[in-house]
Structure 1
Amino acid sequence: MAKNNPLIVIITAFLVLSLMFSLVKATSTNITTDQHALLALKDHITYDPTNRLAQNWSRSSSICNWIGITCGVHHHRVTVLNISYFGLAGTLPPQLGNLSFLQVLAIGNNSFSGSLPDELFFLGNLSSLRVVDLSYNQLSGTIPSSIFQISSLERLDLTSNMFDGQIPLTISKCQLQMLSLSYNIFTGHIPKEIGNLTMLKELYL
Structure 2
Amino acid sequence: MERSRFLLSITLLLVHHSSICTVGATQTNITADQSALLALKSHITSDPHNILVNWSTTTSVCNWVGITCGARHLRVASLNLSYMSFTGTIPPHLGNLSFLVALSFKNNSFHGSLPHELSYLCHLKLISFRFNNFMGSIPSWFGSFPKLQSFDLYGNQFSGTIPSTIFNLSTLQYINLSANKLSGAIPREIGNLTMLRRIALNSNNFNEIPNEISNLDHVEELYVQYNALKGPVPVVVFNMSSLTTLNLYGNNLSGGLPDNICQHLPSLQILNFGRNHFDGPLPSKLWQCRKLLFLNLEENNFSGSIPKNIGNLTMMKEISLSINNLTGN
Q: TM-score, normalised by structure 1?
A: 0.82
1:93-108 map, 5 Å: 93-108=91-106
> In 2, distance between residues paired with 1:29 and 1:156?
27
CA contact (8 A) 2:122 2:144 kept: no
Q: How far has the Cα of 1:165 moved from its partner?
A: 2.1
1:182-197 map, 5 Å: 182-197=178-193
Q: How far has the Cα of 1:59 moved from its partner?
A: 1.0
1:66-77 map, 5 Å: 66-77=64-75
Hey, what does 2:200 align to over in structure 1?
Answer: 204
Hey, what does 2:90 align to over in structure 1?
Answer: 92
CA contact (8 A) 2:44 2:87 kept: yes
Hey, what does 2:227 align to over in structure 1?
Answer: none
> In 1, distance between residues paired with 2:160 and 2:200?
17
Unaligned runs of 5+ in 1: 1-25
Choose which of 161, 164, 167 in structure 2 pairs with 1:166.
Answer: 161
> In 1, distance between residues paired with 2:74 and 2:193?
33
1:117-156 map, 5 Å: 117-121=115-119, 125-156=120-151
Hey, what does 1:181 align to over in structure 2?
Answer: 177
Deviations 1:139-162 (A, max 9, x none): 112222111121100000100001
> In 2, distance between residues paired with 1:203 and 1:29?
37
Q: Secondary structure at the match of 1:188?
A: strand
CA contact (8 A) 1:161 1:184 kept: yes
Deviations 1:40-79 (A, max 9, x none): 11011011011111x1100111100100000011111000
Q: TM-score, normalised by structure 2?
A: 0.52
Hey, what does 2:231 align to over in structure 1?
Answer: none
Moved more, 34-43 or 186-195: 186-195
> In 1, distance between residues paired with 2:143 and 2:38?
26
Unaligned runs of 5+ in 2: 1-24, 202-329
Q: How far has the Cα of 1:127 moved from its partner?
A: 1.6
CA contact (8 A) 1:84 1:110 kept: yes
**Segments of 4+ moved more than 2 angstroms:** none
Q: What amino acid maps onto 1:145 in structure 2?
A: S
Q: What amino acid maps onto 1:42 in structure 2?
A: K
> In 2, distance between residues paired with 1:140 and 1:87?
19
> In 2, distance between residues paired with 1:192 and 1:99?
34
Q: How far has the Cα of 1:171 moved from its partner?
A: 1.4
Superposed CA RMSD: 1.6
Q: How far has the Cα of 1:119 moved from its partner?
A: 1.9
Q: Secondary structure at the match of 1:42?
A: helix
Higher relative contact order (CA 8 A, sep 6+): 1
CA contact (8 A) 1:116 1:143 kept: no
Structure with higher Rg: it is: 2
Deviations 1:10-57 (A, max 9, x none): xxxxxxxxxxxxxxxx9x74211111110111011011011111x110
Q: What amino acid maps onto 1:183 in structure 2?
A: A
Q: Secondary structure at the match of 2:31?
A: helix
> In 2, distance between residues paired with 1:149 and 1:193?
16
> In 2, distance between residues paired with 1:88 and 1:68?
13
Moved more, 189-198 or 79-88: 189-198
